[in-house]
Structure formats: structure tokens, C-alpha cells
């Protein structure tokens, strides 16, 4: 059986006319048995449909902030760099992928996109909008975990990592606020911030707020996330 084709979203920088992606995503997909292909940001609806018809799984990567106007809020001063073309592209990808029951792994911003595309909302800035939060924008290297998350035992994620508590890295100031009705929350940090969601039924659709692509070489729990994703993508 050949390697499943995994479409990986990319960062789009309009000012520099560039597409970028950290190599760790590609390396993790290959190590877990997948064949990575990068998905450039496009606005053509037909091309987006063609992307989804050809891939076996979708990996939504991390990135900048999501435009709060997309969930009915005006921007706070803490809002960072926005990429409206990427936001609209990924929201359409997720909406169409749900129609075909495609397997999806969402990481950091990708987790937030999953939730937003299906009716959820976000905190624009945890430190302004949620009281007594932990440090979620670490100043340690990306490969170093800086806080713990607690995983619900009755979840697919728990069956993957086989641990109630795991250590994760943390590089975000936005997070899920109201959860989409299509998802259930399966992990929290000690301050109550939502750290993982998964689809209630159907295909494998998992969103994690941390960056397992930077941890998989030293953490079998995070490697297993990619391995299970690729396993579900095999036809």
C-alpha cells in the first residue's frame, strides 16, 4: 500500500509574495508514513475542490492571527498580523472537507480554523479576555514543552497518547472560546484553556493547540498523533 497523500496548508505573505512552511510539518508527515504535498493559498473555488478530491488527508498548520470580523468581533489592540486570503482559503477547505468526510489534523491556528469554520468562536487575546491564564506564548525553544495539558479519558486523543497528562509547547495568544457543535473538547490546560478538540463522529478530525510537529522526535505521544492521522488516511 502506498503512502497516503497529505495536503499541508502554507503561510501566505502577500507583502513579500511568498509561501512559507516550517519543514517540521513535512518531516513529521514523512516519518509517520505519509506523502506530503504543499497546498498554496488560492481563491479559485474549483481548485480548492480539486485539492480535496486528490488528497487523502488535510493538515492545517500554525500561523498568525485570525481576523476577528470572521466571528463577529471588532479587533482588539493585541491582534497581530492577519492573512485574510489564507483565512478564507482554509475556512472553505474545512467546510468542503467536512462534506466529504476527509480526515483532518489541525495544529495551533489550524485547530482554531477547524472550530471557526463550523460555527465556533475564539478569544482574540487570552491575556485580555480570560482571567488568570498560564504563559501560552513561551520564550523557550519550540521543541521544549513548557506546560501540561489534561486529556479526557473517553476520547480518541487519549487512546492515541495513552496518558492523562502530557507536556506540550505553547506558542499562541488566541484560543477557542465557544466550541462548534460538531466538536467535543478533549483536552484543557490547568487554566481552563481548550487545548484539543475532536469531531464527535465520522472521519478522524482532531485539532490540537500545541505544536506536535516540533515535539515528535523526542515525544512518542506526539509522534503517535501523526502516526494515527496517517493511519486513518490510508485507503
Domain locations along the chain:
5-233
Q: Read off the pLDDT band of 16 (50, 70, 90).
A: low
| Closest-CA residue to 150 (of 103, 199, 210) | 210
Q: What is the pLDDT of residues 84-110, one digit of tens each?
A: 999 999 999 999 999 999 999 999 999
Residue percentage of the chain with pLDDT more than 70: 98
Predicted local confidence at residue 81, as pLDDT: 85
What is the C-alpha separation between 217 and 219, in angstroms, rounded? 6
Q: Is 111 annotated as catalytic?
A: no
Query: Taking 90 as the threshold, does the pLDDT of residue 80 lie above it?
Result: no
Percent of the chain with pLDDT over 90: 89
Query: Could you give the CA distance from residue 88 to residue 74 in angstroms, rounded to a whole number?
Result: 17
Averaged confidence pLDDT in the chain: 95
Mean pLDDT (whole number) for 129-149: 93
Per-residue model confidence (pLDDT) at position 15? 65
pLDDT digits (tens, 9 = 90+) for 157-191: 999 999 999 999 999 999 999 999 999 999 999 99
Could you tell me the pTM of the whole model? 0.96
Q: Which of 213, 221, 228, 233 is catalytic?
A: 213
CB 209 within 8 A of CB 15: no
Q: Which of 29-33, 74-78, 131-135, 226-230 has the lowest mean pLDDT?
A: 131-135
Average pLDDT for residues 65-79, to the nearest whole number? 92
Summarize the confidence of residues 101-126 as an average pLDDT. 97
d(CA 101, CA 203): 5
Looking up cell 485507503, which residue turns up?
235
Catalytic residue among 108, 111, 147, 233: 108
Query: In this structure, which CATH number among 3.40.50.880, 1.20.58.2240, 3.40.50.720, 3.10.350.10 belongs to the domain 5-233?
Result: 3.40.50.880
Q: Is 156 tagged catalytic?
A: no
* Residue 132's pLDDT band (cuts 50, 70, 90): confident
- Choice among 211, 221, 228, 233 that is catalytic: 211
Amino acid at each position: 500500500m502506498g503512502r497516503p497523500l497529505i495536503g499541508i496548508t502554507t503561510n501566505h505573505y502577500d507583502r513579500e509574495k511568498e509561501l512559507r512552511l516550517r519543514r517540521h510539518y513535512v518531516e513529521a508527515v514523512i516519518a509517520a508514513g505519509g506523502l506530503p504535498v504543499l497546498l498554496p493559498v488560492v481563491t479559485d473555488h474549483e481548485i480548492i475542490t480539486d485539492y480535496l478530491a486528490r488528497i487523502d488527508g488535510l493538515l492545517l498548520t500554525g500561523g498568525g492571527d485570525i481576523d476577528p470580523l470572521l466571528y463577529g468581533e471588532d479587533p482588539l489592540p493585541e491582534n497581530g498580523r492577519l492573512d485574510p486570503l489564507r483565512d478564507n482559503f482554509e475556512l472553505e477547505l474545512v467546510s468542503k472537507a467536512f462534506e466529504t468526510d476527509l480526515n483532518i489534523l489541525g495544529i495551533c491556528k489550524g485547530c482554531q480554523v477547524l472550530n471557526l469554520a463550523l460555527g465556533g468562536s475564539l478569544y482574540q487575546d487570552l491575556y485580555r479576555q480570560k482571567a488568570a491564564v498560564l504563559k501560552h506564548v513561551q520564550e523557550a525553544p519550540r521543541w521544549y514543552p513548557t506546560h501540561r495539558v489534561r486529556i479526557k479519558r473517553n476520547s480518541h486523543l487519549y487512546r492515541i497518547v495513552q496518558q492523562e497528562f502530557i507536556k506540550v509547547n505553547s506558542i499562541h495568544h488566541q484560543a477557542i472560546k465557544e466550541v462548534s457543535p460538531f466538536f467535543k473538547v478533549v483536552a484543557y490546560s490547568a487554566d481552563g484553556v481548550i487545548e484539543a478538540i475532536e469531531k464527535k463522529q465520522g472521519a478522524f478530525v482532531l485539532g490540537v493547540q500545541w505544536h506536535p510537529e516540533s515535539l515528535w522526535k523526542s515525544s512518542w505521544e506526539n509522534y503517535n498523533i501523526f502516526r494515527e492521522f496517517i493511519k486513518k488516511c490510508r485507503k
